[in-house]
Structure 1
């Protein structure tokens, strides 16, 4: 038994012996014990006054997600390879660091959302400049990049060997979800750690605990498969409606509340009609995600032909130099296949 606890119990016993007619001393000692437990719990809680945050990757998604944390009063240290992309956050009060290692050395919880698995490995695991090399014992890494499940397991193992934690927590919802704080967050790792981080996740969206390390990534990949095939259906339906001579805008509004309604339609239908192909999520990054999905399908021994078709269609965009457009640019592939353009008035249907 710890010495401090033995002394407290001895004090309690003496009080009971000396003041057998009163519970005053016993209650006082119990209050001491309760206060100690409360202080220990408070030390582990997440709040702007107790928790320093770091963020690696301040692109389309990261900027808005960081803004929510700064708005809630958290002290934030940021790093981005293109320093100019971090400037808006610096203007909001964030501190700029020169490396992921420097971010982690000033943080209790470090988030990352970068492009590719190779980027994740570099910013988190590089022995010299990576975040883990600068993180104190007890610190937490939270990778929100869509990446490989096996890499998430590897990061968690490396973090554990240093007395730290790692959570894989990729997100879905695009730039609008990031701006509105309504992202779906898929978390894998230690359940109590995910629960402790909920005050941070809740500022960005809704966290969904999916299981052990890597399971957050698996959930996000399944999400991407669903989005990819939904997008194919959306743009095919739009081309069909256009060729049938329908007002495509009216058509989209008509189906939005029926069984064909979807987030893909809500987020992208009218963007497509406006020829707004600005990236809420880059085609190049989506191709990366679908490639990881196909690799995992091979590992699992399963065939998903809709996924394979969607990846080929998105690869066509990349081949035309359109990889930095948003995923809604898939309409361009269908327009080329059918020699039509939704930007032009439709020919009269016979």
Structure 2
């Protein structure tokens, strides 16, 4: 039986980047013992300094853990971490739970779920929204798919990392929900940036303008968290462009499989491809502003 008693439940964490290190840290601060792995050990060092045990492979993390979380970069990374030669499913014990919090392909979540179930392991897909700010403040929205019994058992762990945890349904449903989330964000990002360009050209005080529209029907997370970064010229922090382009690619491919046309998403994807082409892959998603400035011949 799965439990989340902090005196007996051992946590494994794979992926200690911008978001993962904060999410794991919140669990540790609540008293959970953690084993960690990251391709670059230096990025795990803050957690090691707090008492996490370093492991050399995902397999070693899984072998010593009851609940194993992952939040890595791309679908190929997820596949390697779970199904590779030294992957999680090589070391995980029957009765354990694996939880992928990466935004990835719904079909891959289903593949992992099937492989894990054959071994007596529960697999949950639980992508998140809220960015680095949400991770740091334990305020993430977590979209969860998988077998309900396993999800219910580990929900107390989700509640340490996020403020809104919603069960979406069977394996892959969490990832499909995250695609819906990213489609909305793509539209709001381009709208936010274009409004700032328009306001600037119209001679408005942009901070004053934002104080009005962020309290009305245009209110959204991007206006509250990313518009101020743009006004301050901060483009190098936040959710990486290359990861957002990956997410949009997944959504467009899933839409193609469902015979859906999403022209708005396709347009925003093209604009972000332009940001990538100019070296912005590792900049925050608010750097879309730079591409739109260039289109409008603005400094």
TM-score, normalised to structure 1, is 0.84
Give the structure with higher Rg (CA).
Answer: 1
Distance 2:211 2:54 in 1: 44
2:141, 2:165 within 8 Å by CA — same for their partners in 1? Answer: yes
Tell me if 1:223 matches 2:181: yes
More relative contact order in 1 or in 2 (CA 8 Å, sep 6+)? 2
Deviations 1:259-290 (A, max 9, x none): 11111101101110001112321000000000
Tell me if 1:167 matches 2:124: yes
Deviations 1:94-137 (A, max 9, x none): 000000000000000100000000000001111x3001110011
Q: 1:140 aligns with which of 97, 104, 127?
A: 97
- The residue that corresponds to 1:204 in the other structure is 161
Tell me if 1:93 matches 2:42: no
Q: Post-superposition shift, 1:176?
A: 0.4
Q: Post-superposition shift, 1:167?
A: 0.1
Q: 1:84 aligns with which of 42, 48, 55?
A: 42
User: 2:19 is paired with a residue of what secondary structure?
Assistant: helix
Distance 2:237 2:143 in 1: 22
Tell me if 1:265 matches 2:223: yes
Distance 2:14 2:152 in 1: 22
- The residue that corresponds to 2:134 in the other structure is 177
- The residue that corresponds to 1:346 in the other structure is none
Distance 2:281 2:165 in 1: 30
Distance 1:323 1:81 in 2: 19
* Count of equivalent residues: 298
Which one has a larger percent helix, Structure 1 or Structure 2?
Answer: 1
- The residue that corresponds to 2:27 in the other structure is 69
Tell me if 1:53 matches 2:11: yes
Structure 1 segment 189-338 matched on structure 2, within 5 A: 189-205=146-162, 206-338=164-296
Distance 2:92 2:228 in 1: 44
- The residue that corresponds to 1:19 in the other structure is none
Deviations 1:274-331 (A, max 9, x none): 0111232100000000000110110010111110011000000000011100001110
Question: Unaligned stretches of 5+ in structure 1?
Answer: 1-42, 342-350
User: 2:72 is paired with a residue of what secondary structure?
Assistant: coil
Q: Post-superposition shift, 1:44?
A: 3.7
